[in-house]
Amino acid sequence: MTDHTTDWPDHLTGDARPLEVGILLFERHTALDLVGPYTAFALAGMKVHLVSETLDPVVSDDGGLAIVPTTTFDDCPRQLDILFVGGGLVDRVMLDPAAIAFLQDRGATASCITAVCNGTLVLAAAGLLDGYRAATHWASRKELAQLGVEVSTERVCIDRNRFSGGGVTAGIDFGLTVIAHTLGEKAAKFAQLVMEYDPEPPFNAGSPESAGPELVALRTRFMTGPDTALRNAVSRVLERRAASSSHPVPDANTGLAAGIVNT
């Protein structure tokens, strides 16, 4: 990975090449998953591409927020410094041949391959997390493990050039971490200051452990449909792998598929 620390902030004034970031946009994404990292990357002077199959607006998982892509799969720069996937209702994009082909193509040369929330399942479906450790939303850890990924419970997980964040709001921590590793702490702290990222949450309910069983059960009932769709998508990915001799199916009960670590 190239060290750009000494270049910053020269690239903000056009004196050095900015890092190229490709963010996959897909229907039913969770907007905050990508808006947090997007904001951090942009403030650090990176050139961010919002990539989709077409330039049509892409609607979020709540159906009320649309984001307009800046480029298509075909026109996105071939060489990306950072490839990023956010989460959301990912069952369809995990099985979308065009999106998976794009990730596999750019992932073959990207310096950093990254995701937040259950966007890591999309990377896993593309085979980009084989042999790596990654974080995801707490409710998606079992499904990520089934895809053969060693699951971390860290808020931000780094395994070589794979960077991943936990659920939704972890995207800001993730974005700042990626900036620190690519441009240096000064750039990351600058982005944090401009965002005034100085969190003091009003409640201590941001994890299953702190929220307690009643709220966890409420979330489970609320998300029954999406959770079922995600499990079905994972099963279909595993079926496709079983049909391919080049990509064996992980054992759901042994090895990496069963491993959830906190390191």
Q: Are 108 and 199 in contact (CB under 8 A)?
A: no
Residue type, 94: M
Residue carrying structure tokens 């001799």? 245
Terminal Cα distance for the chain, rounded: 23
- Among residues 76, 112, 117, 157, the one annotated as catalytic is 117
DSSP bridge partners of 158: 163
DSSP bridge partners of 151: 134, 260
- Token output for 262: 């906190």
* CA nearest to 171, candidates 19, 39, 26: 39
Q: Are 83 and 107 in contact (CB under 8 A)?
A: yes
Q: Is 117 annotated as catalytic?
A: yes
Active-site positions? 117
